[in-house]
Structure 1
Amino acid sequence: MKKLLILLAAFSLSAAAASAQTTPVKAAHGQHMKGGKMHGDKAPKTPEQRADHAAQALTKQLGLSAAQTAQVRQLHLDRARQMQAHKAQAGTSTGTDKKQHHEAMKAEKAQYEAQLKQILSADQYAKYAQLQADKMAKHKAHRQGMKPGAKQGKS
């Protein structure tokens, strides 16, 4: 009887150990987890795909009309194409070029915000600004938690 209990205990422990080894593996270096999907193993989105995704997200978040959605999509398409051109240039920049590049990107963002403000109603733009502020605060908090020497919590 004792042998049977020992055998049963050994079997249950080995089964528990085997099932514990089936947990998902963390993302490899250079790949990111976002929304439960692993990034880094799929092709980058085209400017058109980025514009569609952004327009759909803003439509859902802000309740845009069909006309507003079309205008926002076009605005995002223009911005995505600009960003793609900037990324192509960024690899060949020197120190002073990077400063000019950064200033140009800030100016383009300000222009984008001004155009978006013209498309959206006052209430929609206020909600958009609040969403952006929340997003920046979350990003800033995340970055502060990732500083060297800081403890990282489990995700």
Structure 2
Amino acid sequence: MKKLLVLFAACSFSVAAASAQTTPVKAAHGQHQKGAKANKTPEQRAEQKAKSLSQKLGLSAAQTEQVRQLHLARFQEMQAQRTQTASAADKQQRHQAMKASKDRYEAQLKQILSAEQYTKYAQLQAQKQAKHKGQHEHRKAKS
């Protein structure tokens, strides 16, 4: 009886150790997405964004290519800005440059898309912004 009890205890410890080693570790909130985004080249990101907008807005092949080129230029510009080190005084200038870049992007996108497509795009952006704001408020309330 004593041997059977010792054998049972040894089996349960080995099962517990084996299952503990195979449990996947989840990434912290946001790390997985940022890591995947950081590993993509501007070309890959532009292709993904153009494909996404093409599906959501029903773009033609010519529009999809124009959107891809627009995003490629934007992502390359953003990558160049990220490599520059900025002091506290440069932060405001960088923020203004990013805002101007976004305004240029929006104007160029408006020229590529039809009025109906741009309206739908604006609605999608507003929904995305509302969702982001809701998540931000939720995190703020948690802490």
TM (normalized to structure 1)?
A: 0.73
Percent identity of paired positions between Structure 1 and Structure 2:
59
Matches within 5 A, 1:38-117: 39=35, 44-89=39-84, 91=85, 93-117=86-110
How far apart, in 1, do the equivalents of 2:26 and 2:78 lie?
Answer: 30
Number of aligned residue pairs: give it: 141
How far apart, in 2, do the equivalents of 1:26 and 1:78 lie?
Answer: 34
Q: Which has the higher helix share?
A: 2
1:32 aligns with 2:31: yes
CA RMSD of the aligned region, Å? 3.2
Runs of at least 4 residues off by over 6 Å: 17-20
Structure 2 residue runs without a partner (length 5+): 1-11
Deviations 1:87-131 (A, max 9, x none): 011x3x111211011001101100100000000001100110111
Structure 1 residue runs without a partner (length 5+): 1-12
How far apart, in 2, do the equivalents of 1:118 and 1:106 lie?
Answer: 19
**Which protein has greater RCO, CA pairs closer than 8 Å, 6+ apart?**
2
